[in-house]
Amino acid sequence: MYEAGIVIRRPIEKDIDSLASLILRFYRFNEEFDPAWALCMEADKAARRVAEEYVKGSQGLTLVASYEEKLVGYVRAVMRENPMLASKMGIITELYVVPSHRRTGVASMLVEHASRELSGMGASYIAAEFPTANYVAERFYKQRRFRPFLSVYLQEV
Amino acid sequence: MGSGREARDWFKISRFLHTFYKGKIEVLPKVPVRGMDDFSIWYTPGVAEASRAIHREPDLSFELTSRWNTIAVVSDGTRVLGLGNVGPEAAYPVMEGKALLFKYLGGVDAVPIVHRKRDLEEFLDLLKALEPSFGGINLEDIESPKCFTLLDRARSELGIPVWHDDQQGTAAATLAGLINAFKLVGKDLKKSRIVLFGAGAANIALYRVLKTYGVPPANMVVLDSKGVLHPDRDDIDKLMISNPHKYKIAVETMGGGLGPSSGLEEALKGADAIVAASRPGPGVIKKEWIASMEQDAIVFAEANPVPEIWPWEAREAGARIVATGRSDFPNQVNNSLIFPSVFRGVLDVRARTITDEMLIAAAEELARYAEEKGLREDYIIPRMEEWEVYPRVAAATAYKAVEQGVARATITYKEELEQARTVIELARRKLEELWKAGLIEEPPEG
């Protein structure tokens, strides 16, 4: 059930603080699942810089969900091209919705809007990246008919 | 108050008597043994017929064996009352004490089982493996948040009632007290603002029960050691993983309309009631915070051995009704008024589960009993020695189980009242007769 009153749009200058907070929350959440996602000491400052970049709109797609003028979620995606492959791929790298607006369809709305935009940019496939142990994300994407596609293995050096 | 010295005295006496009696319960046959021939009935060859019948119809185990009246009191010893993670062996005296209460107050045969299966799945497998021996399972002193998932899954995956007394027993006794406290002050519990301080087993269960009872989540504020459970709290996503029960409360209550970094002081401003199940006091709740509550404030300070605030301090600060977990103060919120009776009721109707509605029925009956006796500010909940309470609560629980279709046997309220009264009185009488006859030895002066 999609929540009435939710607006999906690109972020603007005045969203930077709220977007930075959502970005920080997204990374903090994923930190729970794998030590390789441990945040740096000044993650809050980094989140603001990242938010500024996202608002500029450079190299990728960022969409925010707002409800009554307040940001309640965002999605970040990038296009990935491989000259050897026939198809372009849009990759969702970050997706976050605040707890009070979860289970209301906001995340689905963000993914659907992002998929449409990425398709318009030439993507034939949409993928999503998240820590392997993040069962919340796994459940979310599986329910939306995403399938396992790429395995990434990690080693500490 | 000399509570510290009193406690030390109890420790000393208890240690002496535990040594003298070498534990508290034993297995005593209930059939006559008139001669050796009787063993051909109770054991081989005659017993084979009982086994054959049960093999054909497993539910007959409730009629041909003691299963109908026997429950397991199960603990992994990871959160033993006031002691913490002391391990299964050290939890045994507590489970044995619980078994004594079950028999004496509810006529229920309870078997203490302590074990080393701390892992959730292994614990659950153990319960499933034990199911054929028992008519019910009472979980006890299990660490949080494992206890929540364990109870939820055991309730859905076993065909006998499973109860976690630290959750449901405390929640039911507290609800009974709240019902009467609100009646006395002339407020509607379902329209009042209630603060739950402490987000352990007791208050998380109480939250769920209050919600089922009809209190809107937005009227409640729940706090853990870090403050108000709020969807905008910094650690909220961590909670979603580590304690989904707290997370759910944060989202449902929206922090009771407070800010995400609010503490107890902010939460109590304008509140009608607080139920504290946090850490031993005194001084955990300050007098000035109580003074900021609404008029006729209700304060349940349930920490043991010392409540979060002394009752007289709470009253000096303006609280009208104060309850604690202690027997030496008025209004003791006591699980023992609930669990023996609830199991008496569910065993008598062979219930498959104990629903929250059955728990509420038990609480309402307990409250009703006190109301019939005459509510006072120092009497909102019955005392343990009011014997008629137990069959009354058993009857209310059994009747609700029948009404909800979770009972294997049908019984009326009145029939269960009589049956429960008979079984409980017989259990007590047997113990008293053994004592009078000198078969329970009198301890030496110590």
Count Cβ atoms below 10 Å from residue B415 Cβ, excluding itself. Answer: 15
Residue B232, chain A, CB below 8 Å: the answer is yes
Query: Catalytic one among B12, B21, B43, B414?
Result: B43
Which residues fall within 8 angstroms of residue A20, CB to CB, at 6 or more apart? A44, A47, A48, A50, A51
Q: Are A110 and A74 in contact (CB under 8 A)?
A: yes
pLDDT at B83 over 60: yes
| High-pLDDT (> 70) share of chain B, % | 98
B7 pLDDT band, cuts 50/70/90, is low
Strand ranges, E, within B302-409:
319-324
The answer to whether A100 contacts B241, with C-beta atoms less than 8 Å apart, is no
State how far the Cα of B88 lies from the Cα of B275, in Å rounded to an integer.
30
Task: Please give the average per-residue pLDDT across B379-394, as a whole number.
Answer: 97
From the list A33, A99, A136, which residue is nearest B250 (CB)? A99
pLDDT at B2 over 60: no
State pLDDT tens for residues B126-137: 999 999 999 999
pLDDT at A58: 74
B10 pLDDT band, cuts 50/70/90, is confident
Q: Tell how strand B70-75 and strand B136-139 pair up.
A: parallel
> Could you tell me which residues are beta bridge partners of residue A94?
A76
State how far the Cα of B425 lies from the Cα of B395, in Å rounded to an integer.
15
CATH number of B183-195+212-324: 3.40.50.720
Which domains, from first to last, does chain A contain? Answer: 6-143 (3.40.630.30)
State how far the Cα of B30 lies from the Cα of B248, in Å rounded to an integer.
48
Count Cβ atoms below 10 Å from residue B291 Cβ, excluding itself. Answer: 14
* Location of structure tokens 């009993």: B369
State how far the Cα of B220 lies from the Cα of B197, in Å rounded to an integer.
10
State pLDDT tens for residues B28-52: 999 999 999 999 999 999 999 999 9
B6 pLDDT band, cuts 50/70/90, is low
- In chain A, which residues have pLDDT < 50? none
pLDDT at B3: 46
pLDDT at A1: 56
The answer to whether B251 contacts A28, with C-beta atoms less than 8 Å apart, is no
Q: Tell how strand A61-67 and strand A6-9 pair up.
A: antiparallel
The answer to whether A100 contacts B231, with C-beta atoms less than 8 Å apart, is yes
Q: Tell how strand B220-224 and strand B227-228 pair up.
A: antiparallel
pLDDT at B4 over 70: no
The answer to whether B251 contacts A102, with C-beta atoms less than 8 Å apart, is yes
Chain B hits for A136, Cβ within 8 Å: 240-241
Residue B231, chain A, CB below 8 Å: the answer is yes
B22-160 to CATH, choices 2.160.10.10, 3.50.30.50, 3.40.50.10380, 3.30.930.10: 3.40.50.10380
Residue of chain A whose alpha carbon sits nearest to that of B248: A99
pLDDT at B220 over 90: yes
Chain A hits for B241, Cβ within 8 Å: 32-33, 136
Chain B hits for A37, Cβ within 8 Å: none
pLDDT at B290 over 80: yes
pLDDT at B5 over 70: no
Q: Tell how strand B109-114 and strand B70-75 pair up.
A: parallel
pLDDT at B260 over 60: yes
3-class SS at A90? Answer: strand
Residues of chain B with CATH 3.40.50.10380: 22-160
Peptide bond between residue B112 and the one before it cis (omega within 30 degrees of 0): no
- C-alpha separations of B251 from A71, A99, B230, B237, B239 in Å: 17, 6, 7, 11, 11
Instruction: State the virtual CA torsion across B267, B272, B277, B281 in degrees, nearest 10.
Output: 80
Q: Which of B69, B64, B41, B82 is nearest to B136 (CA)?
A: B69
Task: Please give the average per-residue pLDDT across B199-221, as a whole number.
Answer: 96
B81 pLDDT band, cuts 50/70/90, is confident
pLDDT at B1 over 60: no
Rg of chain A over Cα atoms, rounded to whole angstroms, equals: 15
B446 pLDDT band, cuts 50/70/90, is low
Residue B251, chain A, CB below 8 Å: the answer is yes
B147 pLDDT band, cuts 50/70/90, is very high
Q: Are B303 and B313 in contact (CB under 8 A)?
A: no
State pLDDT tens for residues B263-286: 999 999 999 999 999 998 999 999
State how far the Cα of B28 lies from the Cα of B266, in Å rounded to an integer.
56
Chain A hits for B254, Cβ within 8 Å: 100
Mutation target to probe the A interface, by most A beta carbons within 10 A, among B241, B247, B248, B253 is B241
For chain A, how long is the longest CA-to-CA vector?
49
B321 or B280, greater pLDDT: B321
Task: Please give the average per-residue pLDDT across B202-214, as a whole number.
Answer: 97
